[in-house]
Amino acid sequence: MKNLMVLMFMFLFSMISYAQEATSVFLSKMEVEWLDKEIVELQNIYELINNAVKEDDAILISRNKTDIIKSVTNLSSNSRIFCNKMDLDLNRDDVSKNRLSDTPSNYYVEKRRKDPRSQELKLNMNHYNKFKSNCDLMAAIKNDLKASSFALQPNHEKTTGNLELISSFIVLAKNNNKIIQNNLTSE
């Protein structure tokens, strides 16, 4: 019984340490910069529209509604693309273990590190899972907003709910950006 408990402890410890193991993933520097700018732009548009709703300014809302739709759509779509890139990098080791190759096992990582357009992140599975979860929530919020036709007009029954959804979307986007920024390796 004692041996069984020791084996179970070792198994759980190895699983936890595997989950905490940081792996190199890569995004382009342009993508990282774009994410920063797009979140700031969405935050600014949201504040404009939120103030316009409070002041019943339908003209200001209509001028900025297209921008908020574009920003929410772009952030949702591109965050999913970033997530897929991370997934490819995280699972690349598993794929390369199953085939024989003349190239060293870290060839891809070293090649990307030398690329001046790439930005390396050291990501563990917990961070990746949180990023992926945020992407799923962002897509769900985008779909909810789309289903309501991004209703933001003053006195519309869905305006308050949609503003809250956009606010939640911004928080999720900032959380994903924080995951990226906190895991960037220094150049």
Q: Is the pLDDT of residue 10 over 60?
A: no
Local structure of 92: helix, strand or coil: helix
Where is pLDDT greater, at 112 or 138?
Answer: 138
* CA 65/CA 46 separation, integer angstroms: 9
**pTM (predicted TM-score):** 0.82
Domain over 25-183 is classified CATH 1.10.287: no
What percent of the chain is modeled with pLDDT above 90? 64
* CA 27/CA 86 separation, integer angstroms: 8
* CA 87/CA 100 separation, integer angstroms: 22
Total number of residues shown for the chain: 187
Q: Is the pLDDT of residue 6 over 80?
A: no
Q: For residue 92, what pLDDT band results from cuts at 50, 70 and 90?
A: confident
The strand pairing partners of 23, in sequence order, are 123
Output the CA torsion 74→78→79→82 (10° steps): -170
The answer to whether the CB of 126 falls within 8 A of the CB of 118 is no
The answer to whether the CB of 129 falls within 8 A of the CB of 19 is no
Burial 3-16 (b: 16+ CB within 10 A, else e): eeeeeeeeeeeeee
Q: Kindly state the tokens that stand for 25.
A: 């993933």
Q: Is the pLDDT of residue 4 over 90?
A: no
Q: For residue 7, what pLDDT band results from cuts at 50, 70 and 90?
A: low
* CA 187/CA 180 separation, integer angstroms: 15
